Amino acid sequence: MPPVIALTGGIGSGKSSVANILAKLGAAVVDTDEIAHELTAAGQPGALLIGKAFGVEYLDSAGALDRSRMRALVFSDALAKQKLELLLHPMIRLEVTTRLENYAKKPFEQVPYSVIVVPLLIETGAYRELARRVLVVDCDEAQQIARVMQRSGLTAEAVEAIMAHQVSRHERRRHADDIVRNDGDLQALQTAVEAVHRKYLELARKPV
C-alpha cells in the first residue's frame, strides 16, 4: 500500500496551501475538513442528522450546517461538542478510508503516496494509526492570527479562542516527523514542500 502521510498544523498555518502543492506534485490528498463540508452541505446526510439532533436552527436557510452558530455552541458546551463528533466523525472516517483504499489500488506512477489533512491530528489522535509519517505546517502564532483574520473576518480574540482549543506550537512540532515552515513567501513554501515530496517518493519506493 502506498505510504500515507498525515498533514496537520494550527489554524492559519497554511495546511491547505501545502496540501495543494503536494497534490500538484502528484500526491493523492484526502482533506477531512473538505469531507466534513461535503457531508454537511444542504440535503447531505450530516446536515440532516444535525438538524434532527440539534434542531433546524443550526442549519442555514438552504439547509446546510450553520458553521458560525455551531462553532459558538461547541466552544461553550463540551457535551454538544461530543454529540456533534459522535454524529460526524464515523461518517468522515468511512469516507477517508474508502478514498485511501481506492488510491491504494492505483499504480505508483499515478499515486505514489497519499496525504490525509487532519487539522486536529495531535489533539485527537484520529487517523494517526493510518499514517507512516506526520507532516506539520509551522509558522509563528502572530502570522496564524493575521491570516485567519484576513480570510475570515474574525477578530483577534476569536482566533485566539480557537487556538486555545488546539495544542501549542511546541507540542505540535514535538509530534512531527517532518516540518514545513510557512513564514516566508510562496516560492519558499514551494521549495520546502518539494523537499518533503522527494523524501516521500523515496519512502514510497522502499518496501514496508
Contact partners, residue 184, CB within 8 Å, separation at least 6: none
Fold classification of 1-27+112-208 is Rossmann fold (3.40.50)
Fold classification of 35-111 is Rossmann fold (3.40.50)
pTM of structure: 0.90
Of the chain, the percentage scoring pLDDT greater than 90 comes to 79
- pLDDT tens digits, 9-36: 999 999 999 999 999 999 999 999 999 9
Distance CA 165, CA 152 (A): 18
Q: What is the mean pLDDT of the chain?
A: 93
Task: Using pLDDT thresholds of 50, 70 and 90, give the confidence band for residue 69.
Answer: very high
Q: Return the pLDDT at 152.
A: 85
Q: Return the pLDDT at 53.
A: 95
- pLDDT tens digits, 82-115: 999 999 999 999 999 999 999 999 999 899 999 9
Instruction: Give the ranges where 4-130 is alpha helix by DSSP (H).
Output: 15-25, 32-39, 45-54, 67-76, 78-104, 121-124
Q: Return the pLDDT at 99.
A: 96
- Residues carrying CATH 3.40.50.300, the chain: 1-27+112-208, 35-111
Strand 133-138 relative to strand 178-181, pairing? parallel
Of the chain, the percentage scoring pLDDT greater than 70 comes to 99
- In terms of Cα–Cα distance, which of 116, 38, 50 is closest to 85? 50
Q: Return the pLDDT at 208.
A: 64
* Phi, psi of 207, deg, nearest 5: -65, 145
HSE of 68, CA atoms in CB hemisphere, 13 A: 6
